[in-house]
């Protein structure tokens, strides 16, 4: 980590009111709630300009940046790191941050980004694509030894081969915490979607749809009863005889 990161100092103010409504008022006025803890002292509730937090998070050292902090103009001894931050689910803007005071002589666990360099042989010569399932690893080291990132040369990586966490080259004084067996980079064959061949015959569609349910069953039984050459027997109405007490059909003659 470069010395430039040690020169960053952000201004904060101590909070005097709390609760959801107070937090809303702070955000409306351009500040977000924050908490400073660690260093063997009582936690402090603060207000901070979210832009100063964003500048640190989006810097080349990101959340692992060491910086100083002032509370109402008074410098806090030691260095601070952003331990946690919360984003608005809609706007993706920072709405809360937690700062942690650290001791420069004590080991610290941090997450560090993995970055690839070069073009893999499996891509260049064998038509594969690079798969990068693990984007960061957990390390333990002194605060001043936190690496900005871990660079991995993938130039010799061939199709079907894998680079695992245990194969990464780490700086001196840095201890690996992440499982060394986890894959970081590999070259895999591209997935090809199957396309229907021209002239392929679609599946035959039944000419008579299947009869479903009670009505379908009754219709099937009726069709079985009315066979060709055997006319269906007419009932009383079909024979032209009126029902008892009824009138003859229109067009008939009384006997």
Helices (H) and strands (E) in the chain, counts: 4, 14
Q: Which domains does the chain have, with CATH numbers?
A: 3-102 (2.40.240.10), 109-188 (2.170.120.20)
Q: What is the pLDDT of residue 20?
A: 64
Local structure of residue 122 (DSSP, 8 states): H
Q: What is the pLDDT of residue 4?
A: 45
> 19, 25 in Cβ contact below 8 A?
no
Calculate mean pLDDT across residues 229-252: 47
How high does pLDDT run on average in the chain?
A: 80
pLDDT at 237 over 70: no
Q: Residue written as tokens 């003659």? A: 253
Maximum alpha-carbon separation in the chain: 125
Q: What is the pLDDT of residue 196?
A: 61
Q: What is the pLDDT of residue 231?
A: 47
Query: CA separation (Å) from 27 to 45, 49, 58, 82, 195?
Result: 15, 9, 21, 19, 53
115's CB contacts (< 8 A; 6+ apart) are 149, 150, 151, 152
Q: Which helix (H) or strand (E) holds 54?
A: helix 50-57
Q: What is the pLDDT of residues 146-187, one digit of tens each?
A: 999 999 999 999 999 999 999 999 999 999 999 999 999 999
Neighbours of 127 (CB within 10 A): 11
Predicted TM-score (pTM) of the model is 0.65
> 110, 117 in Cβ contact below 8 A?
no
pLDDT at 242 over 50: no
Reduced to 3 states (helix: H, G, I; strand: E, B; else coil), residue 110 is strand
Q: Which of 39-48, 119-128, 171-180, 243-252 has the lowest mean pLDDT?
A: 243-252
Q: Which of 60-64, 161-165, 233-237 has the lowest mean pLDDT?
A: 233-237
Tell me the C-alpha distance between 111 and 80, whole Å.
16
Q: What is the pLDDT of residues 85-143, one digit of tens each?
A: 999 899 998 999 999 999 999 999 999 999 999 999 999 999 999 999 999 999 999 99
């Amino acid at each position: 980590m470069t010395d430039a990161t040690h020169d960053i100092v952000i201004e904060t103010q101590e909070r005097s009111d709390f609760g959801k409504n107070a937090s809303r008022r702070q955000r409306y006025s351009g500040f977000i709630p924050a908490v400073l803890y660690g260093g063997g002292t009582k936690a402090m509730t603060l207000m901070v300009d979210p832009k100063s937090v964003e500048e640190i998070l989006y810097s080349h050292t990101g959340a692992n940046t060491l910086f100083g902090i002032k509370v109402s103009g008074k410098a806090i001894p030691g260095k601070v790191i952003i331990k946690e931050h919360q984003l608005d689910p809609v706007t993706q803007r920072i709405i809360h941050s937690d700062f942690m005071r650290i001791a420069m002589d004590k080991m610290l666990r941090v997450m560090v980004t993995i970055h690839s360099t070069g073009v893999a042989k499996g891509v260049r010569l064998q038509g594969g694509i690079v798969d990068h399932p693990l984007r960061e690893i957990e390390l333990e080291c002194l605060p001043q030894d936190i690496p900005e990132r871990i660079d991995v040369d993938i130039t010799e990586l061939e199709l079907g081969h894998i680079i695992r966490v245990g194969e990464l080259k780490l700086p001196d004084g840095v201890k690996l915490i992440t499982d060394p067996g986890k894959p970081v980079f590999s070259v895999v064959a591209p997935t090809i979607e199957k396309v229907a061949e021209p002239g392929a015959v679609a599946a035959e569609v039944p000419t008579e749809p299947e009869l479903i349910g009670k009505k379908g069953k009754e219709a099937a039984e009726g069709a079985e009863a009315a066979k060709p050459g055997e006319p269906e027997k007419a009932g009383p109405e079909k024979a032209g005889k009126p029902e008892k007490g009824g009138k003859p059909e229109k067009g008939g003659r009384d006997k």
